[in-house]
Amino acid sequence: MERVPILKIGRTLFVSIQIELQDDTVVRLQEDLADELSATGARGVVIDITAVEIVDSFIGRMLSMIGSISRLFDAETVIVGMRPAVAITLTELGLSLNGVRTALNAEKGLELLNGKA
Amino acid sequence: MTNELARLSVRSLPDVFAARRLGRELAAGLGLEHQDQVRVATALSEVSRSAVSLGQTAAITFAADENSLVLSVAVDGTPPADGIAAAARLMDVVAADEQVIRMSKRRPLHSTPDFPALTERLAAMLPESTLDELRRNNQDLIAALEDVTRQKEQLAALNAELQETNRGVMALYGELSEELEQTNRGVVALYRELDEKSEQLRAAAESKNRFWANISHELRSPLNSIIGLARLLADPDGGLDAEQSYQVELIRGAAATLLTMVNDLLDVAKAESGRYVVNPTEVGLPALLATLRGLMRPVTDGKPVEVVICAEDAPPTLLTDEMALTAILRNLLSNAVKYTDSGEVRVTARTLPGRVELQVSDTGTGIPAQEIERVFEEFYQVPGARRGGTGLGLPYARRLARLLGGELTLASDAGRGTTAVLSLPLKPAAEVSGVSA
């Protein structure tokens, strides 16, 4: 099973997903992020999904859940770099990513978090 | 007409992932645009995941007809409603009957997909089932096992060969050592024989010397009697007439010669038996040579032979046994004079580092090359060149020279003359033992 690395930049955790997401990878990422948040006390999470081409309802729900869990650690989650096809598909599926904010790219995402702080 | 391109059986979550990728590839191969590729993949993902989460197995058929991409998912249970609902949002047509969900998506009509190539690509993406993997692993294992067995056999063969070689070597070794032992035994026996022989030789030489000494001694007394009585008879007042006196004188001369020979023999026996004790003293060499020259004068016996002494280069004194040295030189000189009819006999003394060299050269008959060493044998005389003497002079001289720590050699040119070289140390060696034989 592949693992997604989590980088700490200042008070923000940065996750760049460079692989096609499988269910267990996402579950693992959710657990890892929760551990990392509790350990570091980070205030924000940026998840870059530029390389992800398919987000189905399960993966969408999991991303949404990551946002909810982060909030319990007093951290905000921003999903950045979503591809148009992914956005359209999510919309067609009727999924809205509750609990997470989105930004066009990583830079904008970090700005969003810093603006809040 | 429906063109089936691949089949996939989805039992677990990793299979869902594979279904997604296959759907995407199929859509791409049929020329669907990117957004539709994602839709098809996502729809497959939704349907197959919901089936798997219900514990069902989904058999997916990937196909295409004239104007659509066609997916049919057969499940072994009630088709999952939420999956179908999600898929319906993404596909053009989704229909479900008892156990089969059929979905289709229009494909662009102008595209002409390469179906064989697409089939091949999809087949390459199919996940390997556990059973297949197990079978493949098994085959690998069997191959490896066969390999090992073959290697083992080779090793055994090699080992057997090695053992054979080893036996050969051992046999060879045994043979060799036996041969060696035999040779060894032979050598030991030979050695023992040699020992015995040399012992016998020593005994023989000893008894010979004893015999000589005894005989000479026994002969000397009667000879002295003969000489004494002959002298008495030859007395001028003896009343013998001239003829008788002459005859008696002949008897006396013959007896005197015989006495000399007996004395020589005695000397040799003495030197050889090692009883000759070297007694080194300071010897004035020029004086000794002059005395010798005087001694030799009567021996030339009226022949036109001149004895020349060249002692300018000689050391004034020499630490050696004077009697032995005199005996050697007298022997050499008398030989030289004896075998020279005319010309000169030259005695040259030279000093060399640590040694003195005395040369006696004559212009006499010489000795043929093949006889040079034989003349040092006792009683040997060069055939056809006899001029009296016992044949003991040279062997005696050489023996004495060796007793003095020196050496006597001869060089000769037949018909032109002979040169005898006596080489002596300036001082005797620390210990000069009487060496016999």
Tell me which residue in B16, B41, B42 faces A23 most closely, judged by beta carbons: B16
Residues B242 and B325 in one domain: no
Tokens 């009567």 sit on residue: B298
Whether B205 maps to a domain, the answer reads yes
* Chain B contact present for A115, CB below 8 A: no
pLDDT reading at B435 higher than 60: no
pLDDT reading at B378 higher than 80: no
Q: What CATH number should be reported for the domain holding residue A28?
A: 3.30.750.24
Q: Could you tell me if A28 lies within 8 Å of chain B, comparing CB atoms?
A: no
Instruction: Based on the fold, state whether residues B201 and B322 are members of the same structural domain.
Output: no
Element of type H or E holding B350: strand B343-352
Sheet holding B355-362, edge to edge: B305-310, B343-352, B355-362, B417-425, B407-413
The two tokens of residue B115 are 């179906």
Task: Give how many domains chain A has, as a whole number.
Answer: 1
Q: Cα angle vertex B431, ends B426, B436, to 5°?
A: 105
Range of the domain at B51: 3-128
- The radius of gyration of chain A's CA atoms, rounded to the nearest angstrom, is 13
Torsion sign, CA atoms A32, A35, A40, A43: positive
CATH at B176: 1.10.287
Write the pLDDT tens digit of every residue in B162-204.
Answer: 999 999 999 999 999 999 999 999 999 999 999 999 999 999 9
Highest mean pLDDT among B149-153, B215-219, B337-341, B374-378: B149-153
Question: Complex ipTM above 0.90?
Answer: no
Q: Indicate yes or no: CB of A85 within 8 angstroms of CB of B13.
A: no
Domain range holding A23? 6-113
* CA dist., res. B331 & res. A96, Å (int): 146
Examine the fold and report which residue of B128, B161, B183 is the final residue of a domain before the chain moves on: B128
Residue spans of chain A under pLDDT 50: 117
- Strands B58-64, B68-75: pairing is antiparallel
Q: Which amino acid is at B15?
A: D
* Same-domain status, B291 and B160: no
- SS3 of residue A85 by DSSP: helix
If one counts the domains in chain B, the total is: 3
Cα–Cα distance list, B259 to B213, B219, B265, B295 (Å):
14, 8, 10, 19
CATH number reported for the structural domain that contains residue B419 in this entry: 3.30.565.10
Residues of A in contact with B24 (CB under 8 A): 53-54
Which B residues 75-104 touch A at CB under 8 Å?
A: 86, 89-90
Does the pLDDT at position B114 exceed 90? Answer: no
| Cβ-Cβ contacts under 8 Å, B14 against chain A | 22
Instruction: Write the pLDDT tens digit of every residue in B384-402.
Output: 766 766 777 888 888 888 8
- Chain A residues close to B45, C-beta within 8 Å: 54, 56, 58
B345 three-state secondary structure: strand
Q: Does A9 touch chain B (CB under 8 A)?
A: no
Which positions in chain A touch B23 (Cβ < 8 Å)?
A: none
Output the six-digit token pair for B277: 């004790």
Assigned domain for B107 exists? yes
Tell me the three state secondary structure of residue B138.
Answer: helix
* B161 and B242, same domain (yes or no): yes
* Cβ distance of B16 and A92 shorter than 8 Å: no
| B60 and B110 belong to one structural domain | yes
B290 and B269 housed in the same domain:
no
Residues B183 and B307 placed together within one structural domain of the fold: no
